[in-house]
Amino acid sequence: MTQPLTLFDKIWAQHEILTAENGLSLLWVDRHYIHEGSFQGFDKVDARGAKAARPDLTFAIADHYVPTAPGRVFTDASFKHVVQQLVDNTKRHGIMLMGLDDPRQGIVHVVGPEQGLTLPGLIVVCGDSHTATHGALGAIAIGIGATEVSHVMLTQTFWQKKPKRMRVTVDGKTGPGIGAKDIALSIIAKIGTNGAQGHAVEYAGRAIRALSQEGRLTLCNLAIEAGARTGMVAPDETTFAYVKGRPFAPKGAELDRAIAAWQQLPSDSDAEFDTEVSLDASQIAPVVTWGTSPEDTLPIDASVPDPAAVDDPDKAKQMQGALDYMGLTARQKLTDVRVDRVFIGSCTNARIEDLRAAAAVLSGRKAKVPGLVSAGSTVVKHQAEQEGLDKIFIAAGLTWGESGCSMCLGINGDTVPPGERCASTTNRNFRGRQGPGARTHLMSPAMVAAAAVNGHLADVRPLLQGRA
Amino acid sequence: MDQFKMQPFTRLDGIAVSLRRDNVDTDQVIPARYLKVPRSEGLGDTLFRDLRFDQNGKARPDFPLNDPARKGASVIIARHNFGVGSSREPAVYALVDYGIRCVVATSFGDIFAGNAVNNGLVAAIVTTEDVEKLLSAVEQTGRAEVDLGEQTIKSGNYVVPFSIDPARKVRLLNGWDELDLTARYKSQIEAFAAKDRAVRPWAVPAG
């Protein structure tokens, strides 16, 4: 009788080369994604006078520092330098680069799945914390630091302590206007930004199964914001249909063989998890963040919390500090919070479905504030243009930009000016995340569109009435 | 010559600062605009840049590291969930280049904790009760003694135990690089790769 296993356990076992005396496992890496920020990893490899061990399993994409304003012009020589470093580093090590001028360019966590590089059953690593995104296909996807990047480049392996397993079950059916982002932020609000620390999270339940592949990518993207090592969704027909026909995905008989293997991956029905969390999808409202941590999430009809109601003086002081930074007053209604600009983009919410959701709200309406729309990849950008979504954004008064990480962290120069408030589809509302002094409110693409139309944080649902 | 080689850590008696904050994210430890700076230039000045200095570059007097009495600090006592967020290893470089050798908190971001050990920085986990004691103690004494072998932190009259993953402890004590360990398993890795290619032929990129 074999022990029942989780999805995570099964993939882990298939990749475990050995377990050392110290209890750590050496794992095989199927895909290593690299971006401009990986230069420190290259520096470490070069310091050893070595070369990448498996350039055929390593894929580089320019995303963090590329210009995303229309026209793609570098605004600072230092950004261009970092992008050029990636060109030089990948060339020297024989690694494929989807660079600035490549039609497949985009954000690494959008491009990997889109190109069929990320597949169920793989172990995927990248020197970026949002790597968990790829787990949405039923892979183990782990964000790593620069030293680990160099280790993977040199050995195609990495060391990990086996994490605990957490299952987050979202049963029931979400209401209209509720997106994967609302589910993900509601989970973080419930368990906190370290609620899943030391755990690999599997998202399960009817509401998760009902999500499209794009929605699952958004959900797993935010696993790191709950502190998880990784987030994943069991592969199913939705996954297989998504993978089929993508450029780097298996084809023909090889695909059939792969699907047969992938069908064995879902957690056994009697598999045990170290921690169980459950949410009722029908209770999830459209949410926004008010503070400087993703756990500072509330339904849009709520009010800003009051530090005076917090017992711990240090916590109250920290909450007051967050309100001061955000320019908010305790007990102020969230729908009274005016915004200065909006941003639709990032590895969290810039796939075609996200752009469609925002466009459905903005169609025939005007935004009261300026904003940038940056598609998650150049492929998504072209698809959106074929569907006429770009015209909807432009007619609403927003800027239709190019693909990259853009205003999510602003290191390409696209920042939110100091003191300005931005309704954003991104993943982090940390102080200064979108630029020094920038104030970020996280929400779904539909909710960002609603904030644009109203000029303040707003419930998207009334704007959807009479629209599909 | 590997300029990034990590140094062993055994004991440390140094100046300590208290950082009474939860969820100190890596964007606070080093703002993203400094990530393109090469390590060879040193990242100590970028540590907590926007918490330490205002937009005009003027030091904020209320930020603990700006206290003249805490100049040369090597230990930081924070609260809950330090190093959450981005995988940026420069957050650890900024701490180490500034002179910090140990951060104490009740929990750490997973990736941050991994990056810390790869650079000889001790991420010491203490209980919520003990962290409050330590915060108060270092505010009084200005110092802390960290003993990695014994897994204790002492400040004034307080001695509190800390926890750390045993494998990480051994690496820190010896200054061992993970790559040196991995090199011992070269043949196992090669054997695995060959077998895996046959078992999961679909796992390699097509096209």
Name the nearest CA neighbour of A326 among A313, A347, A310, A307. Answer: A307
Question: A225, A244, A276: which is the final residue of a domain?
Answer: A276
Task: Please give the Cα distance from B112 to A52 (Å, whole number).
Answer: 24
Closest to A137 (Cα-Cα) out of A59, A61, A225, A244: A244
Q: Identify the domain boundary among A276, A309, A336.
A: A276
- At A423 the three-state DSSP class reads strand
Number of structural domains (chain A) is: 2
Position B4 confidence tier, pLDDT thresholds 50, 70, 90? low
Residue of B nearest to A433 (CA): B27
Q: Do A109 and A179 share a domain, yes or no?
A: yes
- Looking at every residue in chain A, the average pLDDT score rounds to 97
Residue of B nearest to A314 (CA): B20
What average pLDDT score do residues B65-91 get? 96
Domain parsing of chain B, residue ranges: 11-176
Is A436's Cβ below 8 Å from some Cβ in B?
A: yes
Residue B6 confidence (pLDDT): 76
Q: How far is A385 from chain B (nearest CA, A)?
A: 27
**β pairing state of B75-77 and B102-105:** parallel
CATH number at residue A298: 3.30.499.10
Identify the burial level of A357 via C-beta atoms within 10 angstroms of its C-beta, where 0-12 means exposed, 13-18 middle and 19 or more buried: buried
Residues of B in contact with A430 (CB under 8 A): 25, 27-28, 85
pLDDT at A255: 97
A411 and A272 in one domain?
A: no
Strands B143-147 and B152-155: antiparallel
Whether A257 and chain B come into contact, CB under 8 Å, resolves to: yes
| Pairs of residues, one from chain A and one from chain B, whose beta carbons lie less than 8 Å apart | 192
CATH number of B11-176: 3.20.19.10
Which residues in chain A have their CB less than 8 angstroms from residue B165's CB?
A: 161
| Same domain for A231 and A291 | no
One domain, residues A395 and A374: yes
Q: How confident is the model at residue A314 (pLDDT cuts 50, 70, 90)?
A: confident
Q: How far apart are CA B63 and CA B54, in angstroms?
A: 11
When pLDDT is averaged across residues B57-86 and rounded to a whole number, the result is 96
How far apart are the CA of B88 and the nearest CA of chain A, in angstroms? 6
A155 has pLDDT over 90: yes
pLDDT at site A1: 55
A70 and A185 part of one domain: yes
Q: Is pLDDT above 80 for A26?
A: yes
Q: Is position A281 within any domain?
A: no
CA dist A113 and A128 (Å) reads 16
Does A323 reside within a domain? yes
Per-residue pLDDT at A2 exceeds 90? no
Q: Are residues A227 and A301 in the same domain?
A: no
Q: Do B39 and A43 touch (CB under 8 A)?
A: yes
pLDDT band at A311 (very low <50, low <70, confident <90, very high): very high
Residue A31 CA: distances (Å) to CA of A131, A239, B4, B203:
11, 18, 26, 9
Out of B35, B110, B115, closest to residue A37 by CB? B35
pLDDT at B1: 37
Q: Taking residues A395-413, what's their average pLDDT? A: 97
pLDDT digits (tens, 9 = 90+) for B130-180: 999 999 999 999 999 999 999 999 999 999 999 999 999 999 999 999 998
The Cα A53–Cα A183 span in angstroms is 40
Residue A162 lies in a domain: yes
- Roughly what angle, to the nearest 10 degrees, separates helices B110-117 and A146-155? 70
Amino acid A467: pLDDT: 83
Give the residue numbers spanning the domain of A249: 7-276
The C-alpha atoms of residue A105 and residue A465 are separated, in whole angstroms, by 36
Choose one of A254, A276, A298: the last residue of a domain: A276
Over residues A78-111, the pLDDT tens digits come to: 999 999 999 999 999 999 999 999 999 999 999 9
pLDDT in tens, B170-179: 999 999 999 9
Q: What is the pLDDT of residue A32?
A: 98
Mean pLDDT of chain B, nearest integer: 95
Together in a domain, A181 and A307: no
Q: What pLDDT does B7 receive?
A: 82
Interface ipTM: 0.96
The whole-number average pLDDT for the span A35-63 is 96
Kindly state the average pLDDT of the residues A260-282. Answer: 98
The answer to whether residue A71 scores a pLDDT higher than 50 is: yes
Whether residues A117 and A205 share a domain: the answer is: yes
